[in-house]
Amino acid sequence: MSEEGGIVMDKAWLKGLKNKLRVKAPIIETDGIRQSRRVPGQYSCVKEIRAYGSIICYIQKGLGKENEIIGAVIKIILDIQGSSRLTNYYLHPFSFGWDDNKLHHRKSAIQIISRANNTMIINELCKLAGSDICSTSIIPALFPSTSLYSKKRNVKAHDLLVFICKDRSVQLSELSTAAYSRVRRRSLWIFINTDKPEWEFGTFKPEVASDEQKES
């Protein structure tokens, strides 16, 4: 499967996406008992698993009706996290493309302990996006500027960033480009397009929005 080809969201499309996300998942440390690699017979309270530290989703305004593809992508991600036995992590739902040029959110992250509620997460993302046509395709930031959102202040290298966009015309604000360049290799882009959605992982580089575009 080609990551950049216009492919209908069928079983091959979904399988290719799932395989890519599983292979690219980093090795992180989490609570658990495991035998020490250095000292035989000694055990540690930290274990290593292959999973993403946090899931950060960005959905473009107006895509709230695309629940079928949103649901399919979210289910794949949560299944990968669940199969790694990661029992406590956060999913951060954000929306971009608004008149105020701000990243919209639900004021708190979604804590996932053991099993995740797929339907609730999908509904939250669709609710954030709404169905009104977006006025801009600019992603203003990768994380809210307010410290009241959560203890997490920015994206990290072991996070999975998921961008759900109308098409490839999406742009990054100039202030976000440096942060994005550090995490691009674990960034999944879903382009809804018309009837043939595409996905691209780790390689997409959006254009940088000019000052004139941000003010228009």
pLDDT tens string, the chain, 216 residues long: the values are 334 444 457 889 999 999 999 999 999 987 654 555 555 655 556 778 899 999 999 999 999 999 999 999 999 999 999 888 887 899 999 999 999 999 999 888 999 987 778 899 999 999 999 999 887 899 999 988 765 666 777 899 999 999 999 999 999 999 899 999 999 999 999 999 877 899 999 999 999 997 655 554
DSSP 8-state class, residue 92: E
Indicate whether this model's pTM tops 0.75.
yes
Query: In whole angstroms, what is the distance from residue 163 CA to residue 141 CA?
Result: 12
- Strands 171-172 and 207-208, by their bridges, are parallel
- CA–CA gap between residue 5 and residue 177 (Å, rounded): 25
Q: Helices in 84-186 by DSSP H: which ranges?
A: 118-129, 177-183
**Number of C-alpha atoms within 13 angstroms, CB side, residue 143?**
21
CA 56, CA 28: separation in Å to the nearest integer? 17
Q: What are phi and psi of 200, to 5 degrees?
A: -145, 135
Q: Which residues, other chains included, contact 166 with Cβ-Cβ below 8 Å and sequence gap of 6+?
A: 60, 62, 63, 134, 137, 191, 192, 193
